[in-house]
Amino acid sequence: MTPSTKPPKIRAILFDFMGTCLNWHASLLPHLPPLPSHPSYPPSLASKIQSDFLLQWRQSYFNTNTLRISHNLPVENIDLTHLSTLETLLLTPAYSSWSPSFTPPIKDSLIQAWHHQIPWPDVLPTLKSLSEEENYELFVHANGSTRLQLDLVKAAGLKGVFEMLFSSQLVGVYKPERESYEWVLRVLGLQPEECVMVAAHTSDLKGARQVGMRTVYVRRWTDDIHDNQEVIRRENDAYLENMRDLEKVIREL
Amino acid sequence: MTPSTKPPKIRAILFDFMGTCLNWHASLLPHLPPLPSHPSYPPSLASKIQSDFLLQWRQSYFNTNTLRISHNLPVENIDLTHLSTLETLLLTPAYSSWSPSFTPPIKDSLIQAWHHQIPWPDVLPTLKSLSEEENYELFVHANGSTRLQLDLVKAAGLKGVFEMLFSSQLVGVYKPERESYEWVLRVLGLQPEECVMVAAHTSDLKGARQVGMRTVYVRRWTDDIHDNQEVIRRENDAYLENMRDLEKVIREL
């Protein structure tokens, strides 16, 4: 059999969702309250403060999950985790003058904004094309609740693309716990080498490699901001700047 | 607000799958081994014997689930339940002369045939149309494994129709246990009155009513063959001979 007629090895493509497929940063930004007026803030600094605030909020969400895993705490509703991490962030001195602008309705709107995100521009064409291929089954495998994922699929125009959504609420443990990947393999009835995990988070891919899945890293400036990209580049089967070449990369795995 | 401008109350439509959406009987029939030759069998009797065999196999699958529920046994892989009920049926005296034709490859092919079923003719147009409506989310809520349901969606041409597939493997308990419906409501984050269960099984709908969901019965000659249809007609919000009017019925719930 020549290489071109070999059946593709990959049968299931598991996507991390927020960050990897969705631009949470651009989606949240319009929901932030205005910064307190301050004569020394040029507009560019104001944007940077708002952007940094979101990046810190996102990081503290990840930190909380890691802490919950290390303390063997059960999976928490992501809306509650987002609220508690927001409240904590607003208590830090850096945000003391901005904090009063976060009224209860603003905070509600920010929590709900996580349910309605826009995809990165390369995502829709790639995922729709992949989902039309007979050989592949596409899944979301991401932390969060099923309601969050259902809302995000609708908001991002991804209806009909995924066969199933595997949330940490369904799985019962967070990624990157080994049990999360093993649960998905059991439920899909597939071998690890038939699955590829696609994520903008090195920790997600580390977990996938531990059970023998293939891995594709997609670089997004909003995520893994403190990680060494050169190390990540070496560790995975592929390292992409966006998803435009994803189909080709997966076919060659 | 006039009735025509009221927003629809129903947000989620939960479908039972085998029997309700899929014609398991017609799908399995071609996989049965030929009957032993017998001078007194006219062809019509041969068809009836084969049909009865399938109806009995299906009934013994339901009986086994009921037994497992009453003994608090965990959910079993449906392929195993299908195999054990097939083996038991073949031991009955009625099938003693036919039984040797069920070789291991034939039995394998029969177990696998449950993964590849054709839909009833009214199903595809109705479900595709419902899934395109902004207001509704469509789900499978059925006993069986996730792999079975993924294979069935593909075989039946229903890809992209359902937001999620809720199998007894995922839920952890069989329908019609109350906990199965409560689990679905919790995961969807919806109120019971926002959900309608559509099934060709009166027991599925009894369970749905117990938690406050709306119910639509769809009559299929292959299922509920021993149940009193007049009683079923009275017990549910709607009783349909097929799914052609389902959209209209759900809009008026």
Domain boundaries of chain A, sorted by first residue:
12-23+117-252, 25-32+43-114
Instruction: Say if B46 is an interface residue toward chain A (CB within 8 Å).
Output: no
Least confident of A66-75, A139-148, B3-12: B3-12
CA–CA separation, B253 vs B249, rounded Å? 7
Q: Please measure the distance between the N-terminal and C-terminal CA atoms of chain B and give it in whole angstroms.
A: 17
Q: Cβ(A63)–Cβ(A89) under 8 Å? A: no
* Closest residue by Cα to residue B230 from B215, B217, B242: B217
- Given A146, A163, A188, which is nearest B187 (Cβ)? A146
A144: left (phi over 0), alpha (psi -120 to 50) or beta: left
Selected residues 165-184 of chain B with any CB under 8 Å from a CB in chain A = 165, 169-170
Phi, psi of A228 (to 5 degrees): -80, 110
Strands B12-15 and A137-142: unpaired
- What's the gap in Å between the CA of A67 and the closest CA on chain B? 24
pLDDT reported for residue B39: 65
Kindly give, in sequence order, each residue whose CB lies less than 8 Å from that of residue A51, ignoring residues fewer than 6 positions away. Answer: A25, A29
Two structure tokens written together for B100: 């040797």
Q: Cβ(B220)–Cβ(B191) under 8 Å? A: no
For residue B245, how far is the Cα from the chain centroid?
A: 19
Alpha-carbon distances of B59 from B12, B35, B54, B90, rounded to whole Å: 29, 21, 9, 14
| Optimal mutation site among B150, B152, B195, interface A, most CBs of chain A within 10 A | B150
Q: Is the pLDDT score of A1 beyond 50?
A: no
Two structure tokens written together for B202: 């009166």
> Which of the residue ranges A6-20, A34-48, A171-185, B39-53 has the most confident prediction, judged by mean pLDDT?
A171-185
Q: Could you read off the pLDDT of A4-16 as tens digits, one per residue?
A: 556 569 999 999 9
Q: Cβ(A113)–Cβ(A27) under 8 Å? A: yes
Q: Could you read off the pLDDT of B159-199 as tens digits, one per residue?
A: 999 999 999 999 999 999 999 999 999 999 999 999 999 99
CA–CA separation, B198 vs B17, rounded Å? 9
Going residue by residue through chain B, which has 253 residues, state the pLDDT in tens, using 9 for 90 and above: 445 556 569 999 999 999 999 999 999 999 999 988 776 777 778 889 999 999 999 999 999 999 999 999 999 999 999 999 999 999 999 999 999 999 999 999 999 999 999 999 999 999 999 999 989 999 999 999 999 999 999 999 999 999 999 999 999 999 999 999 999 999 999 999 999 999 999 999 999 999 999 999 999 999 999 999 999 999 999 999 999 999 999 999 9
Strand ranges inside chain B, DSSP E: 12-15, 22-23, 118-119, 137-142, 164-167, 195-199, 214-218, 238-240
Count CB-CB contacts under 10 A for residue A40. Answer: 5
Instruction: Say if B164 is an interface residue toward chain A (CB within 8 Å).
Output: yes
Domain covering A12-23+117-252, topology: Rossmann fold (3.40.50)
Q: Is the pLDDT score of A243 beyond 70?
A: yes
Q: In B, which residues are within 8 Å of A153 by CB distance?
A: 163
pLDDT reported for residue B1: 43
pLDDT reported for residue A42: 78
Strand ranges inside A92-161, DSSP E: 118-119, 137-142
Q: In B, which residues are within 8 Å of A189 by CB distance?
A: 145-147
List the single residue in B with minimal CA-CA distance to A12.
Answer: B150
CA–CA separation, B162 vs A161, rounded Å? 10
Are B146 and A170 a contacting pair at CB < 8 A?
A: no
Are B150 and A163 a contacting pair at CB < 8 A?
A: yes
pLDDT reported for residue B246: 98
Alpha-carbon distances of B56 from A9, A31, B94, rounded to whole Å: 40, 59, 12
pLDDT reported for residue A7: 58
In terms of C-beta density within 10 A (0-12 exposed, 13-18 middle, 19 or more buried), how is residue A176 classed? buried
Phi, psi of A20 (to 5 degrees): -75, -55
Count CB-CB contacts under 10 A for residue A24. Answer: 22
- Given A159, A170, A189, which is nearest B147 (Cβ)? A189
Alpha-carbon distances of A119 from A157, A184, A246, B162, rounded to whole Å: 8, 24, 16, 21
Q: Is the pLDDT score of A73 beyond 70?
A: yes
Are A187 and B146 a contacting pair at CB < 8 A?
A: yes
What is the arithmetic mean of pLDDT over A225-236?
96
Q: Residue A167 is which amino acid? A: S
pLDDT reported for residue A41: 73
pLDDT reported for residue B58: 96
pLDDT reported for residue B8: 62
Are A160 and B165 a contacting pair at CB < 8 A?
A: no
Q: In B, which residues are within 8 Å of A165 by CB distance?
A: 163-164
ipTM rounded to 2 decimals? 0.91
Instruction: Find the helix packing angle between B78-90 and B43-70, rounded to 10°.
Output: 130
- Given A137, A150, A170, which is nearest B163 (Cβ)? A150
* Closest residue by Cα to residue A216 from A232, A233, A198, A192: A198
pLDDT reported for residue A108: 96
- Given A131, A150, A188, which is nearest B147 (Cβ)? A188
Q: Cβ(B222)–Cβ(B19) under 8 Å? A: yes
pLDDT reported for residue A39: 66
Two structure tokens written together for A55: 């990046």
Mean pLDDT, chain A, as a whole number? Answer: 94
- Given A160, A165, A188, which is nearest B160 (Cβ)? A160
pLDDT reported for residue B6: 60
